[in-house]
Amino acid sequence: MRKAAHRLTENSIRAALLAWLQKRLPGSARLIEELGVEHGSSRIDVAVATSLLSGYEIKSDFDTLDRLARQMHAYQRVFDALTIVTTMAFVDEVEALLPDSWGVIVAKSSPAQQVTLVRRRQAAPNTRRDAMSLAAMLWRDEAYTFLVEQCGPVVRANATRGEIYETLATSVPLDVIRNRVLDALKLRNITTPRLHSAGNELARGERQVMVGGVPTPCHEIA
């Protein structure tokens, strides 16, 4: 009798993805797990901050696609490039649902229950980004400091987050906002106590991984 295929969990796929990314990204890159977008209403599984902001969403054999449409719209407002990492159980459905700009990686289990990642479609530039959503990736104090640098004291010091984000979105070019978000994500673990060491939970539910660790050799992408 043929042995049933090993079902892949989110944790096993995540470990394979992180190992692959750590092996290939420059040392200046930051990997952030469970990065909140849209004021934390959605959290992408792995975000990558380099010269671009890229996102990777995982759907394992134990997940459903019930939330994917809502997540898709939230992530597209923020990330420069997006990739879904899923299994053969869902690959046809996600390809039908997601725009062609999304990359697709398929996670497969080997006979030894090691995870192999196979790139099925390369991510293309996302053209649906939104300046307000990007500005909201900054913490309130980060956003206020940035706004003053760019435009001067155009809002009061005790302005709400919403007022600050809206002013940034209407006054500062989108890519300038994106670059400031990237800088903030890369520096938070150094300049603020709210970020902890690699792999530990952050104050906002995020986890940041410093690139440069030794990857697990059993995880490959074809």
What's the pLDDT score for residue 206? 53
What's the pLDDT score for residue 196? 25
What's the pLDDT score for residue 184? 94
Bridging pattern class, strands 30-37 and 207-210: antiparallel
What's the pLDDT score for residue 38? 85
Q: What is the pLDDT of residues 23-72, one digit of tens each?
A: 889 888 899 999 999 888 899 999 999 999 999 999 999 999 999 999 99
What's the pLDDT score for residue 173? 97
Bridging pattern class, strands 81-86 and 115-121: unpaired
What's the pLDDT score for residue 109? 87
Length of the chain: 222
Q: Which residues of the chain have pLDDT under 50?
A: 1-4, 190-205, 210-222
Q: Which residues contact 210 (CB under 8 A, 6 or more apart)?
A: 30, 31, 189, 198
Domains of the chain (ranges plus CATH)? 10-129+194-221 (3.40.1350), 131-190 (no CATH)
Computed on alpha carbons and rounded to an integer, the radius of gyration of the chain in Å comes to 18
Task: Compute the CA torsion angle 77, 61, 216, 209 (nearest 10 deg).
Answer: 30
